Structure 1
């Protein structure tokens, strides 16, 4: 519907009442344009102005003030909003009950209906107005769908949220610091505390005079903390340490890359000067720990006896292995707090169990004599092309072993380069050959009624069943005394003498002299040899056993046989350990060795005299003679069994010599064994006797044993003559 043009009202148009006059009839108010809903006096609004804010209630106009508006229908009072009740000039202010404001609109509600007009103004953001004066009011802002809450409520809500979050943190703190505090404390301690091994100082091994044969010196261990070494630095660490410490690069890389680890050993036994070079590299996560290193100041001297300590700090051979628990002591430990950069926290927690030092061991060996014996056997092994050789020096009255030399040897400081680490003096079993005939001689003289001058008709061979036994060289039948049988080392003559005793008696004497049982001198891997009881002998075994074959022994066992004869028939168990030394240097002697009489003193003396004839020109070992001294001994030349054919052909020989001096007052026993000599003579009198002479001379000089000055007895070798 179009609006009417603005202009003065005509006919029923709105009138402007005079102050205090009556209003026009109500129907005239309905004529004309539709009421705008605005309050009285709103016709002066400036076009284009911003919408005003919702109007506030204003106080009613003062009495007598002029208003523009239509009178309520049926009244003569302008602006009262009440029908016919108001007086001129006393109408209510614009409180929703007065006249309609502004120009009317055709078809609008009744003019002067204050409630309806007021409601429309309120719905459209208007309101009652007072008299307008001055510039127009600022239009009201339109309503928005969001209404800001009370600031106090917003503050309280925010505080509640903050309090809830803080309560979550507080609950977690309570859980960590009270309920689960023990668990996390233990985990933290485990991360900080690192165990460090405190190795015990290994006991030294010395000779009889206290000279060190194996000693412990200060060293360093190179360790790594993988958690500190960044992956980008690992190759740098490997490239620096592997060549310097002679380590496998792959092993070093693996250890410094170990996950969840803060302690890894890279090297043990590093010399202090070399360890300082490592630390000067200033590599991340690399440090040193105090430890000890085993050193052998005499290199290969007595290596077969002493052995070595391996990279793990355990004895790997010899006495180092056999006495490892006593020598090593008990390691201790220490737990220290380590910082994140791998350094020891000085004031941190520190738990410690001190190590217990190992006990030192004093041997019966004499270093200088050991050196002479080792030098002599090494020389003869090279000269004869032998596979191996051993020399033993022993005191017959005490059983002390003064030298145990073997060749070839090795350097325990460089044990990884050695082909063999064994102790041949006890680990290598061999058939003694003619050196074993003294046991048969003792048995037949004690139980068979044989005397040194008992005659025997001795051919060069003899047959029992289908087996032929012969002497070392062909010869015409000879009439020899028993002393002559022993002096010439006749196999046939020994068999003939052994027939005067039973097989059981022969076996008992073999056992009494120590065959078939270990010497228990303390070296690992000792063989007891082979000595079967008579029930297991074949029909002819007793005959080769009588002259030292078909049984086997080790070198110490054979030396003990001659020590028994030299000691008047009393066997003193061989012994190598003199005693132990504590950490303060206190010495504790080992238990006295076992002793037992094997043969009578008279039998032993007679055998001594017969053995002295072996070193004469008529005997088999004139090369064993020592000027000024009376020497007694026996040669041995035994065939080595060939396992390929089960026979004694093609496997070589064992050349040996065992003897003592002075013969009339024996102080020392020396026994020499050469396995498979291939150059020169393979007989014991030629290959082994010279070594006996050289070592015995050195031993007599070392022990300051003078010649007795007595004359040797005359030994009859042949029945006539």
Structure 2
């Protein structure tokens, strides 16, 4: 191939250093070859050296960086130390102190409730709950600090006999808590301080006690609805406990102490106590023995007659409530198991009293001079008034009764014939004076004032039925107050339940009371009413000879009322009652008894309530040593001779 036939190079190197000369075509004579270098190659210029750059990986650069970082960190530490020790020294010290200080609330003892002679009705006792730090208890007996189930088993078996508990149950509680790394679990609740002392002496790590105050009621069911109970938070939730909760509650204290990292008190650390202030104690007017007796008596009668419930009130002449019992009752030591109505029925249950209310009607009539004890009335078997046909508790021929006879035989028709002589407004005013339509002012929680419509709202039938205690309602306490007014020579004395309060249980301060006694009827009218009430227990003409008390003259009044049923939206069943006082010449006690809806045997107050009155009154008088009466009562005539009067 000739040079001309060789394909041209696409690129040619520039002349100069490193450029090779073109080769001579092969096959030509050697002499004719071009020289190896057409010209001398100029010398290379030396390459300029760049400065060495030090990267982060270079030791000198790394050393500088570390030095700056260390200096920066030390400057931060210095600034922080200056702030802590200089500027914020007090604040930081306080924070450190608070981090190791524990505050434990010391519960305050709730004040006691006692009867008139100091018998405990409600008291607060100290109890202990045992708690455990299972992570510490699991090291019991292990010097190497290792947690084992065997240590928990050992602790459970030592504690169980002291608290009469199942060791397996205690063990299971500890194991579960330890597995969860729990430092707090309740192991046993409600043990005595003496039991805790024995447990503490075992020296088991992680076992602590929590002081709690427990309310106890030594008298149990006999006084439970009256005294009431406290809830889980220690707040009075019924009866006197709720009524006087503010006084009974104390002020909790605080125990402050320093503790180590394991929660244990530091022996040389600061300890400070703000003692708890106990609540005040409350003394009631209640006679505990009489309360117990009344509670048992009414319970037996309710059961005997298969009644829904029953109540008893006992007052003294000064209006002090000596007993307020009701059945069914409950155990306020175990309030969680209590069922039914937990209220004190003498205060809270309003019912239509029936014939015991005739005491108000005839007191008003006598006071206004409308009738006298011997006023004469012809009493038919039926009487039409308004849209209602009135009748007595039993059918009878036309009777010739005096006012005293109407009360003794408890004639509804006779009461209407006498009462309709007085205008409704005046009769209403006497009902109000005797306390109808308003609570007694005792202050008992949930106390009812009964129902008494204004006379202007009485319908055609009610204008007459209220005269014999239907179409209005009262509590048993209000009925007892009516009898107390008559026994107290016509003066209505405010009823009271609280005798006094005390901070030391020794000196008692009577509560302030702005209520004052009020005269309702004259002493003469009260005496006439008393004599008429004596006729009620007369063997010959009265409706309640079973109310008699051997050795004492008794004055009283029966009640047998139609019972209004909320469920039936009308009248269904009856209410049997009796209210009275003795001895007549020097009254010591007023007793009121009510049995609600008796369903077996009799329905009459003279048969059901009067015997309970006799039992309770007899017990009270004999126990109190009341002198026996030596004279028989002189009664008003209860009937009149119609023929003789006509001839005259």
TM-score range, shorter chain: 0.7 to 0.9
Say whether residues 1:510 and 2:418 are aligned partners.
no
Tell me the distance in 2 between the aligned counterparts of 1:202 and 1:344.
Answer: 29
- 1:286-685 equivalences under 5 Å are 286-396=207-317, 398-419=318-339, 420-583=341-504, 585-591=506-512, 594-617=516-539, 618-643=541-566, 646-648=569-571, 651-685=572-606
User: What secondary structure is seen at the aligned counterpart in 2 of 1:552?
Assistant: coil
Contact 1:223 1:267 in 2 (8 A): yes
* Aligned equivalent of 1:216: 124
Instruction: Label 1:628 to 1:466 Cα distance change in 2 as closer, same or farther (>3 A).
Output: same
User: For structure 1, which runs of at least 5 residues remain unmatched after alignment?
Assistant: 1-145, 147-153
Aligned partners of 1:324 and 1:261: how far apart in 2?
37
Residue deviations 1:535-577 (CA, integer Å, cap 9, x gap): 2221221211110011111111110100000010000111111
Structure ID, larger Rg? 1
Contact persistence 1:443–1:506 (CA under 8 A) = yes
Cα deviations by residue, 1:615-654 (Å, 9 ceiling, x for unpaired): 0121100101112110110000111113455432xx2111
Q: CA deviation at 1:391?
A: 1.1
| Number of residues of Structure 1 aligned to a counterpart in Structure 2 | 563
Contact 1:229–1:256, Cα closer than 8 Å, also in 2: no
The residue correspondences of 1:192-271 to structure 2 (distance < 5 A) are 192-222=100-130, 270-271=191-192
* CA contact 2:325–2:344 (8 Å) conserved in 1: no
The alpha carbon displacement at 1:175 in A equals 3.9
How far 1:529 sits from its partner (Å)?
A: 0.8
Residue in 2 that maps onto 1:72: none
Distance 1:338 1:402, change over 3 A: same
Offset at residue 508 of structure 1 (A): 0.8
How much is the aligned-residue C-alpha RMSD, in angstroms?
Answer: 3.7
Q: What secondary structure is seen at the aligned counterpart in 2 of 1:689?
A: helix
590-599 or 319-328: which moved more?
Answer: 590-599
SS in 2 for 1:587: coil
The DSSP-based 3-state class of the residue aligned with 2:209 is strand
CA distance, structure 2, for counterparts of residue 625 and residue 536 of structure 1: 40
CA distance in 2, matches of 1:453, 1:428: 36
CA separation of 1:161 and 1:187: change in aligned 2, threshold 3 A: closer
Residues 251, 279 of structure 2: 8 Å contact kept: yes
> Residue deviations 1:246-265, cap 9 Å, x none?
xx99xx99x989x9999898
Name the CA distance, whole Å, in 2 between partners of 1:700 and 1:458.
Answer: 38
Of structures 1 and 2, the one with the larger relative CO (CA 8 A, separation 6+) is: 2
CA contact (8 A) 2:387 2:461 kept: no
Partners of 1:705 and 1:718 in 2: how far apart? Answer: 34
Cα distance, 1:177 vs structure 2: 3.7
Specify whether residues 631 and 165 from structure 1 end up closer, same or farther in structure 2 by C-alpha distance, changes over 3 A only: closer
1:285·1:341 contact (CA, 8 Å) conserved in 2?
no
- Would the alpha carbon gap of residues 161 and 298 (structure 1) be closer, same or farther in structure 2, given more than 3 Å must change? closer
Residue 219 of structure 1: SS of its match in structure 2? strand
* Distance of 2:85 and 2:134 partners within structure 1: 30
Asked if the contact 1:448–1:501 (Cα under 8 Å) also holds between the matched residues in 2, the reply is: no
Question: What do the CA deviations read for 1:436-489 (whole angstroms, capped 9, x no partner)?
Answer: 110001111112520000001111221122211111111111010000000000
Shift of 1:243: 11
The one-character-per-residue Cα deviations of 1:675-717 (angstroms, maximum 9, x if unpaired) are 1111211110001111000000110012211123122013311
Question: Residues 261 and 194 of structure 1: is their aligned pair in 2 closer, same or farther, counting only changes over 3 Å?
Answer: farther
Structure 2 CA distance for aligned equivalents of residues 417 and 583 of structure 1: 33
Structure 2's unaligned 5+ residue stretches are 1-53, 55-61, 139-146, 643-648
In structure 1, what is the equivalent of residue 4 of structure 2? none
Q: Is the 8 A contact 2:223 2:291 kept in 1?
A: yes
TM-score by length of 2: 0.79
Query: Aligned in 2, Cα 1:171/1:489: closer, same or farther, shift over 3 Å?
Result: same
Q: How many angstroms apart in 1 are the aligned matches of 2:264 and 2:218?
A: 36
CA distance in 2, matches of 1:415, 1:524: 18
1:123-162, CA deviations, whole angstroms, 9 ceiling, x for partnerless residues? xxxxxxxxxxxxxxxxxxxxxxx9xxxxxxx999998876
- Cα deviation, residue 404, structure 1: 1.2
CA gap 1:485/1:303 in 2 versus in 1, 3 angstroms: same
Q: Higher helix fraction: Structure 1 or Structure 2? A: 2
Q: Secondary structure at the match of 1:362?
A: strand
In structure 1, C-alpha distance between the alignment counterparts of 2:156 and 2:372, rounded to whole Å: 78
Does the Cα contact within 8 Å between 1:661 and 1:669 map onto a contact in 2? yes
Using a 3 Å threshold, how does the CA distance of structure 1 residues 455 and 271 change in structure 2: closer, same or farther?
same
Shift of residue 304 of structure 1? 1.2
Q: For 1:599 and 1:161, locate their aligned partners in 2 and report how far apart those are by CA, in whole Å.
A: 103
- C-alpha contact 2:550 2:618 (8 A) present in aligned 1: no
Q: Return the offset for 1:329.
A: 2.1
TM-score, normalised to structure 1's length?
0.71
User: Does the aligned pair in 1 maintain the 2:486–2:530 contact within 8 Å?
Assistant: yes
Q: Give me the whole-angstrom Cα distance separating, in 2, the residues matched to 1:560 and 1:475.
A: 33
- Once residues 264 and 554 of structure 1 are traced to their aligned partners in structure 2, the CA distance between those partners, rounded to angstroms, is 50
Instruction: Provide, for residues 232-280 of structure 1, a one-character-per-residue CA deviation record: whole Å limited to 9, x for no partner.
Output: 99x99999999959xx99xx99x989x9999898887543245457657
Distance in 2 between residues matched to 1:205 and 1:157, nearest whole Å: 80
Other structure's SS at 1:492 match: helix
User: In the alignment, is residue 713 of structure 1 matched against residue 634 of structure 2?
Assistant: yes
Of the structure 1 ranges 628-637 and 420-429, higher mean CA displacement relative to structure 2 is found in 420-429
- Kept after mapping to 2: 8 A contact 1:225/1:342: no
Instruction: Give distance in 2, aligned partners of 1:226 and 1:539.
Output: 78
Once the two structures are superposed, what CA deviation does each residue of 1:59-103 show, in whole Å capped at 9, x if it has no partner?
Answer: xxxxxxxxxxxxxxxxxxxxxxxxxxxxxxxxxxxxxxxxxxxxx
